[in-house]
Amino acid sequence: MITFTPLTGGAATTRTTPLCYILQIDDVRILLDCGAPDWHPEPSTETSSTPGESQQVEPHWVRYCEQLAVQAPTVDLVLLSHADVAHVGLFPYAHAKYGLRAPAYASLPVQAMGRMAVLDNIESIRSEEPVDDPANSDTGLDIALPTFGLTPDPSKQRKIASIKETNDAFDSLHALRYSQPAHLQGKCQGITITPFSAGHTIGGTIWKIRSPSAGTVVYAVNLNHTKERHLDGTVLLKGGAGGGVLESLSRPDLLITDAERTLVVSARRKDRDAALLDAVTNVLQSGHSVLMPCDASTRILELLVLFDQHWSFSKLRAPLCLVSRTANDMLTLVRSMMEWFGGTVTKEEAFDAGNNKKRKRNQEGEDDALGTLALRFKHLEIFPSPDALVSRYPSSMPKLLLVVPATLSHGNSRRIFAEFASVPGNAVILSTPSEPGTLANTLFNEWNLGQSDNERFGHGSMNSKIPLVGAELEQYLEKERAAKERQATQRAALARSQRLLEADEADSDSSNSEADEEEVEDALGDDMDTGVPEGDESAKQLSFDIFLKGNVSRAASFFKTAGQASRFRMFPHIERKRRVDEYGETIDVAAWLRKDRALAVAVEAEEAREAQQKKQEEEEKSKTPAEPPSKFIVETIEVQLRCKLLFVDMDGLNDGRSVKTIIPQVNPRKMIIVHSHREATDALKESCLSIKAMTRDIHAPDVGDVVQIGQQTNVFTVALSDELIASVKMSRFEDNEIGFVHGRVTGNANSTVSVLEPTMPVSSSGDAENIPASDVRPVLSLPWSTMIGDLRLTALKTRLGVLGIAAEFIGEGVLVCGTRTSGTLDDVVAVRKTARGQVVVEGSISDVYYTVRREVYDLHALVAA
């Protein structure tokens, strides 16, 4: 049985992101994606207005995080599909805090680019507001220091992982390549997962989950079937639109897909690109700047390739700037994953042999972003912060700014927008509607409503981190000095106690060889007499009073001896033992250390020394300088919205027409719709139900709803007997052999597994007459033979051509076959496929008919009844 529960991103919700779902197949619980919401929605979307006051409500992500915290320890498998924050943003926090330790799988780019997206997000948030509670500090120093400005707000309950937790989480991922099946072990024994290309983002994945009891489950969200500059379309459609569905993904038992863009009508990519480039060029030529918010790792690549190519051919002099904390590392990773790209990026570069000039630009604009040159971005300049940007280019200079994040809710993009929007002539171009409640989504709604161009004023909060000055700085330094002194005192006391313990251990080790002497001296005490004057210490020798009480003239030996051997009384004697090793010599440790150091210096080569020196220099450079004492503040600023506002859809997702066309071609037996608004969900369900061949078993669960599939299905485990296997006629299909069985289930006293044995035929008619009427069962009808496979008429045409039979397509998918020499219709055979998958062969009885029918049979696996 299959159970499906959306934790967030349901099919009838106003907030379609993030995405996170629990899929349970029998006893195996699978977590599909683990996205994070935008932690900084605009205040107007998080408050409910009452007459005269504004009442604070609980953040919308609280319920999702609570449910994930409950479900995470029970998860057996994690599958991540895309590398943006909406799909992987909360995975590091759940891995570190919620106990999400199940094996996690993703494609290699999702692992690498998802890390960059999450790191940029958390670094941006941590630079603007306090996240960690000082009580949880590892050093304990932060507890003693004074706190100025903002403090962590428990009511927000933001789940922000640390940089170390993020790296550890993504390091634990198992990376797979496309079409690489992974056979799981342990509790997931028997389940096979296979990733396929989904388009939209680099490494974007369609997950095919194969279970022996539940069949095939396909998880396909955020698809794009069209080819882009840096990516090919999804492999769900062979050869793009109109090429049919990939056989490995067709007709699944369950399809989980999204319907968010069912009501969206997209323009052609050529028209969208032209509109975007024209808008950018016009604004720059007018002496103003363009601001484009974008994500940190995925869809930004399409924009970078497009703009860098446009800069090359238009000879624009305006700077092309990217403001992002992780851009350099992201581009370094991108250039190492060329095999994951598609589109025009993977084409070979072509030069004119005569003058070594590039070819002229193609009208489609797709033949010039060639090879790895398309990823060098020679016109791109990267800045880690707005201050670095301003120090290089003044605000009045025309330029194109790509800023992160795309939501404008925090970070560099929000800070730049606050100054950028008040300049008339500047333009803000949105490439995605963004998550509801964010500033970018608010601007999109303004653009969508077609509001007038009158001057408008907006208010927004701005978080920032500023250095301490004046009395606050002096108080902080004084408290820091006192805290460090206390900490140093504690360390010194701890070190002193540790030295005492080590000294005690050393004394006990060195006194092992003198234990006998100490015991004798302690026992004799004052009875010891040297027999020489006290002044001559060098001549002192031990003498003992050997008076013994009782009849102890003989004493038994301490060691076991044969017979009744005994020993007589002897003077006490102390044997001084030398501390030696197993070979009788004491090792001079200092000599070995000196020799080892000399050997190491002799062996070390000059190249090794240089490498070590370079490594040390890099480590010194990588060390981040200590930050001055700072505090977090929040300001409410007034922004005069006088800039232009445009929206160009560069999301790279299927539109409504594509969604309604692709899903009927996949033709799943059951379907679950997620990640959608109610109106879009209803539109997709209505479209699917209008097709007769489509399933009627379509579910659209909201957040928290539980969908159960296959509860009427009973699964039994039986063992096939040797007699049954010997009687089955097997037919080969691809890499498998298939046969039809008819038997009866019998029990076995020695095993809990039932055995399927062949039915015993009646020996003779006489025996049949003696069978009581009550034992006579109705005669079963003979089952039909089954043909397994998908007939491709083009393959049949090729095989008939080899045999000398001409074949041509006539009408709507009808293959007409006949000999080249015959001019009559008697030797003509027509082959066609019906909508239900049946193959119809029509024609007169002739050699051509039997030849065509035999070839049709050969293209299938015939399972005889």
Q: Indicate if the pLDDT at residue 49 is higher than 80.
A: no
Packed helices 300-314 and 269-285: angle between N→C axes, nearest 10 degrees: 60
> How do 671-674 and 698-699 pair as beta strands?
parallel
Cα angle value 694/700/701 (rounded, 5°): 150
Packed helices 411-420 and 108-126: angle between N→C axes, nearest 10 degrees: 60
Q: What is the pLDDT of residue 105?
A: 98
Contact 214, 25 (CB under 8 A): yes
Angstrom distances, CA of residue 582 to CA of 560, 577, 585, 586:
25, 14, 8, 9
Q: What are phi and psi of 166, to 5 degrees?
A: -65, -45
Contact 553, 568 (CB under 8 A): yes
- Give 606's pLDDT tier (boundaries 50, 70, 90): low
- Give 746's pLDDT tier (boundaries 50, 70, 90): confident
Mean pLDDT calculated for residue range 321-325: 94
- Give 238's pLDDT tier (boundaries 50, 70, 90): confident
DSSP string, 212-242: TTTEEEEEE-S---S--SS-PPPTTBTTSTT
Q: What is the pLDDT of residue 770?
A: 57
Q: What are phi and psi of 208, to 5 degrees?
A: -105, 120
- Give 683's pLDDT tier (boundaries 50, 70, 90): very high
Residue type, 224: N
Name the residue among 252, 214, 249, 251 with its Cα closest to residue 837. 251
Q: What is the pLDDT of residue 349?
A: 41
Q: What is the pLDDT of residue 755?
A: 85
Residue type, 793: L
Angstrom distances, CA of residue 708 to CA of 82, 95, 698, 767:
26, 28, 12, 50
- Rounded Cα distance between 768 and 766, Å, is 5
More confident position, 526 or 832:
832
- Give 464's pLDDT tier (boundaries 50, 70, 90): low
- Rounded Cα distance between 844 and 850, Å, is 10
Q: What is the pLDDT of residue 571?
A: 64
- Rounded Cα distance between 260 and 221, Å, is 10
Mean pLDDT calculated for residue range 2-15: 91
Name the residue among 754, 666, 707, 696 with its Cα closest to residue 1. 707
- Contacts (Cβ under 8 Å, ≥6 apart) of 219: 23, 32, 79, 81, 206, 207, 209, 256
- Give 69's pLDDT tier (boundaries 50, 70, 90): very high
Name the residue among 223, 264, 262, 261 with its Cα closest to residue 245. 223
Q: What is the pLDDT of residue 735?
A: 65
Mean pLDDT calculated for residue range 745-761: 78
Q: Indicate if the pLDDT at residue 523 is higher than 50.
A: no
Q: What is the pLDDT of residue 359?
A: 42
Q: What is the pLDDT of residue 716?
A: 76
* Residue position matching structure tokens 């996949």: 666
More confident position, 92 or 581:
92
Q: Indicate if the pLDDT at residue 477 is higher than 90.
A: no
Mean pLDDT calculated for residue range 1-28: 92
More confident position, 765 or 639:
639
Q: What is the pLDDT of residue 612?
A: 74
Lowest mean pLDDT among 252-256, 588-592, 851-855: 588-592
Q: What is the pLDDT of residue 156?
A: 66
* Residue position matching structure tokens 């007169």: 844
Q: Which residues of 588-601 are buried (b: 16+ CB within 10 A; e: fewer)?
A: eeeeeeeeeeeeee
- Rounded Cα distance between 460 and 71, Å, is 36
More confident position, 608 or 457:
608
Mean pLDDT calculated for residue range 234-251: 78
Q: What is the pLDDT of residue 482?
A: 81
Tell me the per-residue pLDDT of 250-309, one tens digit each, with 9 for 90 and over: 889 999 999 999 998 888 989 999 999 999 999 999 999 999 999 999 999 999 999 999
Q: Indicate if the pLDDT at residue 602 is higher than 60.
A: yes
Q: What is the pLDDT of residue 355?
A: 38
Q: How far is CA 680 from the centre of its chain?
A: 27
Q: Indicate if the pLDDT at residue 64 is higher than 90.
A: yes
Mean pLDDT calculated for residue range 211-231: 92
Which domains can be identified in the chain, with CATH numbers?
Answer: 2-38+61-154+165-265+649-708 (3.60.15.10), 269-455+642-647 (3.40.50.10890), 718-760 (no CATH), 787-863 (no CATH)
Residue type, 118: V
Contact 474, 146 (CB under 8 A): no
Q: Indicate if the pLDDT at residue 644 is higher than 80.
A: yes
Q: What is the pLDDT of residue 219?
A: 97
Mean pLDDT calculated for residue range 446-451: 60
Mean pLDDT calculated for residue range 600-608: 66
SS3 401: strand
Q: What is the pLDDT of residue 298?
A: 92
- Rounded Cα distance between 261 and 200, Å, is 13
Tell me the per-residue pLDDT of 783-805, one tens digit each, with 9 for 90 and over: 667 777 777 788 888 888 888 88
Q: What percent of the chain has pLDDT over 90?
A: 37
In the DSSP assignment, the letter for residue 537 is G
Instruction: Compute the mean pLDDT over every residue in the chain, rounded to the nearest whole number.
Output: 78
Q: What is the pLDDT of residue 530?
A: 44
Q: What is the pLDDT of residue 485?
A: 83
Q: How far is CA 843 from the centre of its chain?
A: 56
How many other CB atoms sit within 10 Å of the CB of residue 272?
15
Sequence-ordered alpha helix ranges (H) in 656-769: 656-666, 678-689, 722-727, 765-769
- Give 516's pLDDT tier (boundaries 50, 70, 90): very low
- Rounded Cα distance between 799 and 236, Å, is 27
Q: What is the pLDDT of residue 366?
A: 42
H or E element that contains 304 = helix 300-314
H or E element that contains 719 = strand 718-720
Task: Write down how long the chain is.
Answer: 865
Q: What is the pLDDT of residue 498?
A: 79
Q: What is the pLDDT of residue 234?
A: 93
Mean pLDDT calculated for residue range 601-623: 67
Q: Indicate if the pLDDT at residue 143 is higher than 90.
A: no
SS3 464: strand
* Residue position matching structure tokens 């581009």: 331
Q: Indicate if the pLDDT at residue 857 is higher than 90.
A: no
Lowest mean pLDDT among 14-23, 150-159, 283-292, 773-782: 773-782
